Amino acid sequence: MPRSLLVGLAVALAAVAVIVAHALGRRAAARLGRLPIERIWLRLFVRLPGPGRAGARLGAVTAGAAAAYLAAAGLAFAHVSCRGVSTGDAAIVVGEVLEGFDAAGKLQRGDRLVAVDGEPVFVGRGLSLTQRVAAKQGAPVTLTVRRAGAPLAVTIQPRRMETPTGAPGPWILGLRQASEPVLATVATAEAAGIALRVPLRWLRDILSELVASLFAGSDAPDPGGPVRIVEEFRRAFEPAGDVAWRRAQLAATYALLLLAILDLVRAAAITLERLRAGKRG
C-alpha cells in the first residue's frame, strides 16, 4: 500500500473512531438514565431534547466526552503495545549508500546499525561512528546491522578522502546517516498508563501552539534552515507505520478537541437552563 494512502486511511479511521465512540458513549448514558432521545442519523447520533433532568443530561454529555477520550487513548495503546516506547537512545540508520565505496552492495537504506566491531553504537552517546572509523586508520570495520528484524554482520573497507589541497583527509565508509529512536516493549498495564496520558499531552501541545500562534506577530522568526533540513531528512526515513500513527493521533486529537468544545457548549446550555428553571420555581 502506498505510504500516502496508508496515512490518509489511518487519519480517516482515527477521526471516525473518536466521533463514533463519542456518539455511542452519549447514547448509552442516555439510555441508562432513561432520557428521551431523538435519533439524528443511523440510530447512532442522538439529541437530548426537552427541559428537565439536567443532571442526567450532563452525565450523558460527560459520558460522550469520556468515550471519545478513551477512543483516542485506545489508538495510543495499540501503537505502544505493538511498537514499544522510546528508551531515550537513538540508533544510527543508513539513509543512503554512496556509489564507489565498499559499502555499496553490502549495506542497504534502512539498515539499523547495532554495533561497530562488537561495540554498541548510539547517536550522541559514546564514540560516534565517524570517530570509530577514524580510530581504525583504514583497517576494515565490521558493522552489525539489523535488517528486516534480523541481525547481519558486514565487513567494510573504509576509503580515505582527500582535502582540496590534496592532503590526506578522513576515512569514510560511504554512507549517509539518519537516526530513529530505540524502542523497548512494555507490559500491558504500563502501556495502558502511557496511552491514557497521550491524548492529554497532544491536546496540551495543540492548545499551546494555537495560543502561541495567536500572540505571535506576522514577523515571527522562521525556525527553518539547518533545523528544518535535519527534521525533513529524519522524517524521510521514518517507518510508514510511525508516520501513519502520528498523523492518526493528531487527527484523533483534533476530533477530540472539537467534540470537547461542543460538549462544553452543551453543558453550559443545560446548566443555564437549570438555573433559569430554578429561578422560575
CATH number at residue 171: 2.30.42.10
The cell numbers describing 49, all together, are: 431534547
Same domain, 76 and 103: no
pLDDT, tens digit, for every residue of 130-165?
999 999 999 999 999 999 889 999 999 999 888 777
Q: Residue 139: its pLDDT value, please?
A: 94
Q: 71 and 201, same structural domain?
A: yes
Q: Do the strands 85-97 and 38-41 form a parallel or antiparallel pair, or are they unpaired?
A: unpaired
Rounded CA-CA distance 10/16 in Å is 10
Q: Are residues 28 and 155 in the same domain?
A: no
Residue 184 burial (C-beta neighbours within 10 Å; 0-12, 13-18, 19+): exposed
Confidence label for 213 from pLDDT (cuts 50, 70 and 90): confident
In the predicted model, what is the mean pLDDT of the chain?
Answer: 85
pLDDT at 233: 43
Residues 148 and 271 in one domain: no
At which of 126, 160, 183 does a domain end? 183
Q: Are 164 and 116 in contact (CB under 8 A)?
A: no
Contacting residues for 186 by C-beta, under 8 A, at least 6 apart: 80, 81, 84, 85, 194
pLDDT band at 223 (very low <50, low <70, confident <90, very high): very low
Both 193 and 268 in a single domain?
Answer: yes
Q: How far apart are the C-alpha atoms of 273 and 265, rounded to whole Å?
A: 12
Please tell me whether residues 140 and 20 are part of one structural domain: no
Q: Give every CB contact of residue 277 below 8 A, 6+ residues apart in sequence.
A: 51, 52, 54
Task: Tell me, yes or no, whether 274 and 196 share the same domain.
Answer: yes
- H helices of the chain, in order, are 3-32, 54-83, 129-135, 188-215, 226-236, 240-280
Reported as type and span, the H/E element at residue 120 is: strand 119-120
Q: What is the pLDDT of residues 23-38, one digit of tens each?
A: 999 999 988 988 888 8
* Domain containing residue 155: 87-183
Q: What is the DSSP letter of 112?
A: E
Same domain, 73 and 97: no
Claim: this prediction has a pTM higher than 0.85: no
Residues 70 and 196 placed together within one structural domain of the fold: yes
Q: Are 166 and 181 in contact (CB under 8 A)?
A: no
Cα(145)–Cα(154) distance, integer angstroms: 8
> 66 and 114 share a domain?
no
Q: What percent of the chain has pLDDT over 90?
A: 49
Query: Based on the domain organization, do 126 and 75 belong to the same domain?
Result: no
Say if residue 261 is exposed, middle or buried (CB neighbours under 10 Å; 0-12, 13-18, 19+): exposed
One domain for residues 204 and 76? yes
Give pLDDT tens digits for 45-95.
Answer: 888 776 678 888 899 999 999 999 999 999 999 989 988 888 888 899 999
State the average pLDDT over residues 184-202: 92
With 0-12 / 13-18 / 19 or more C-beta atoms within 10 angstroms meaning exposed / middle / buried, residue 107 is buried
Count up the domains in the chain and report the number: 2
180 alpha carbon, distance to own chain's centre: 13
